Amino acid sequence: MKISELSRAAGVPIPTLKYYLRERLLLPGEPTARTQAEYSDEHVRRLRLIRALAETGGLKLREIRTVLDAIDEERLSIHDLLGVAHHALGPAESEEDRSPEARLARKEVDRFLADLGWRVSRDAPGRRALARALTTLRNVGWDAEPDVFEPYARAVEQMARREVASVGESGSRTEAVQQAVVGTIVFEMALVALRRLAQEHHSALAFPKRRRR
Amino acid sequence: MKISELSRAAGVPIPTLKYYLRERLLLPGEPTARTQAEYSDEHVRRLRLIRALAETGGLKLREIRTVLDAIDEERLSIHDLLGVAHHALGPAESEEDRSPEARLARKEVDRFLADLGWRVSRDAPGRRALARALTTLRNVGWDAEPDVFEPYARAVEQMARREVASVGESGSRTEAVQQAVVGTIVFEMALVALRRLAQEHHSALAFPKRRRR
């Protein structure tokens, strides 16, 4: 297909598309004339993946490149690749993680995860996120210990077991990889949205309405 | 306390603090001299709430103001306030929600939520987020129906019931309000982090490591 057809099929404007080509996020098409090239379904799939990472995952171009490079690196296992995606999604380390309160929270979170029996790498960004959550609760005057997260840990452990099992089902590595990375992002967006909706539902049942919105 | 003490107690630099005062996010202190004022624990609490909304919730100043105004509006019930916080957290409507695919996904999501029996307002941002998640799955070639979200809906319904019940327990309205708003943000950050950690754990069990990270 021509570049205009590729643009329509993937829902990506031509200037953006040319930018991805220049940045080598997208491989060039097969040249058919001096200024024309032929693109394939593989290009469409790649563009949709880039869109999912950018629009749904909120990843920056640099982070998208890291994830795409990992996908292209055939020697990486799906486990390694999930790690790359998680690191790209962050949060990255920042000044706030180095305060005494943050360091204490991090130690407590590490102990909590060890007690759960979870095998997670020392530098998993999730540890940092959890420590920040704990610190924030304490900053607003909540006398919280890491076990306040335990019901959530139990709930997501069930989810994660099912999710990881389903990744194995897809045929090719490319499909499995795409499912692992996109699934991580899309289902967490869905999870957060559903939790807020469920809160609204239960809050409607629990609290009387005093005013119409 | 003086402004320097307030800055230390809340962990907010003085220039930021003065900015909040100018923007009326923070009420002025009690004047003690022409250029000095006395601040209270109430100021510390307020600043910590602002920090939680900004740093953990990622809210912009305009959105923080909306939430703070709602907290100060005593006539709003906790249910209404939760709605204000959810709207501030977004996602806001955008161009992508108006494509034919997005509109179809939204209709399916609305039907899915009705089938769950959840009472949620027509304009809840969660509906939009869920429709986007569905559209993204389809864009990457996943033949998904809304019921792919059902296990997640069931899991969060349990959480939300417990969360809403615990909000009622705190004494004052201010505490309940703070718990509802901060709790929504902080526990969803924790939930997402825990899900990724649980994925890493189960993926370590399921997939052989080919390479050390």
> ipTM score here?
0.88
Which pLDDT does position A39 carry in this prediction? 96
Cα dist. A38→A9, A32, A44, A46 in Å?
14, 6, 12, 15
Show residues of chain B in contact with A162, CB under 8 Å: 151
Query: How far does the CA of residue A33 sit from the closest CA of chain B (Å)?
Result: 30
Of A82, A157, A207, the CB nearest to B78: A207
In this complex, is the C-beta atom of A193 within 8 Å of any C-beta atom belonging to chain B?
yes
- The span from the CA of A57 to the CA of B89, in Å, is 16
pLDDT value for B209: 59
Reply yes or no on whether the pLDDT at B147 is more than 60. Answer: yes
Subunit contact A158:B156, Cβ cutoff 8 A: no
Q: Give me the residues of chain A with pLDDT under 70, please.
A: 168-171, 174, 208-213
Q: Is the peptide bond before B31 cis (omega within 30 degrees of 0)?
A: no
How many A/B residue pairs have CB atoms within 8 Å?
300
B205 CB neighbours in chain A (<8 A) are: 119, 164
pLDDT mean over B9-19: 93
Other Cβ atoms less than 10 A from the Cβ of A204: the count is: 18
Calculate the alpha carbon distances from A212 to A204, B55, B75 in Å: 12, 30, 11
* DSSP-assigned beta bridge partners for residue A38: A30
The pLDDT assigned to B213 comes to 45
Which pLDDT value is given to residue A37?
A: 94
Task: Note whether B142 contacts A210, CB cutoff 8 Å.
Answer: no
Please report residues of B whose CB lies closer than 8 A to that of A198.
118, 153, 156-157, 159-161
B209 near A CB under 8 A: yes
Rounded to the nearest angstrom, the minimum Cα separation between B195 and chain A is 5
The pair phi, psi for residue A38, each rounded to 5°, is -105, 130
Report the alpha-carbon distance of residue A107 to residue A105 in Å, rounded: 5
Q: Which of A110, A140, A189, A210 would best serve as a mutation to test chain B binding (most B beta carbons within 10 A)? A: A140
Could you tell me which of B67, B25, B28 has the C-alpha nearest to residue B46?
Answer: B25
**Above 50 in pLDDT, residue B101?**
yes
Does residue A205 belong to the interface with chain B, where contact is any CB pair within 8 Å? yes
Q: Å from B22 to nearest chain A CA?
A: 23
Quick count: other Cβ atoms within 10 Å of Cβ A36? 11
Chain B residues with beta carbon closer than 8 angstroms to that of A192: 129, 188, 191-192
Higher pLDDT pick, B208 / B3: B3
Q: Which residue, chain included where needed, has tokens 């040319």?
A: A18
Q: Which residues contact B4 (CB under 8 A, 6 or more apart)?
A: B14
Partners of B30 in the β-ladder: B38
Q: Are the beta carbons of B58 and A139 closer than 8 angstroms?
A: no
Distance (Å, whole) CA B114 – CA A106: 41
Strands B30-33 and B36-38, sheet pairing:
antiparallel
Determine the pLDDT at residue B102.
94
* pTM score: 0.88
Q: What is the pLDDT of residues B162-197, one digit of tens each?
A: 888 887 666 677 677 777 788 888 999 999 999 999
Which secondary-structure segment (H or E) carries A186? Answer: helix A173-206
All residues of chain A having their beta carbon less than 8 Å from the beta carbon of residue B158 are 155
Q: How far is A154 from chain B (nearest CA, A)?
A: 9
Average model confidence (pLDDT) for chain A? 89
Q: Tell me what pLDDT residue A169 has.
A: 64
CB A110, CB A126: distance < 8 Å: no
Q: Which two three-digit tokens encode residue A21?
A: 């080509």
Best CA proximity match to B191, nearest among B168, B169, B160, B149: B160
Write b or e for each residue in A98-127: b if 16 or more Cβ atoms lie within 10 A of its Cβ, otherwise e. Answer: eeeebeebbebbbebbeebebebeeebbbb
- Start-to-end CA distance of chain B, whole Å, equals 50
Q: What distance in Å separates the CA atoms of residue A27 and residue A39, rounded to the nearest whole number?
A: 9
Share of residues in chain B with pLDDT > 70 (%)? 95
Chain B neighbors of A86, CB-CB under 8 A: 196, 199-200
pLDDT of residue A208: 61
In sequence order, which residues have a C-beta less than 8 Å from that of residue A180 and are 6 or more positions away? Answer: A78, A81, A82, A85, A167, B203
Portion 123-182 of A in contact with B at CB < 8 A: 124-127, 129-130, 132-133, 136-137, 139-142, 149, 151-153, 155-165, 167-168, 178-180, 182
At A30-39, the pLDDT tens digits run 999 888 999 9
H or E segment and range at residue A19: helix A14-22
**HEC-encoded secondary structure of chain B:** CCHHHHHHHHCCCHHHHHHHHHCCCCCCCEEEECCEEECCHHHHHHHHHHHHHHHHCCCCHHHHHHHHHHHHCCCCCHHHHHHHHHHHHCCCCCHHHHCHHHHHHHHHHHHHHHHHCCCCCCCCHHHHHHHHHHHHHHHCCCCCCHHHHHHHHHHHHHHHHHHHHHHHHCCCHHHHHHHHHHHHHHHHHHHHHHHHHHHHHHHHHHCCCCCCC
The two three-digit tokens of residue A213, written as one number: 């919105």
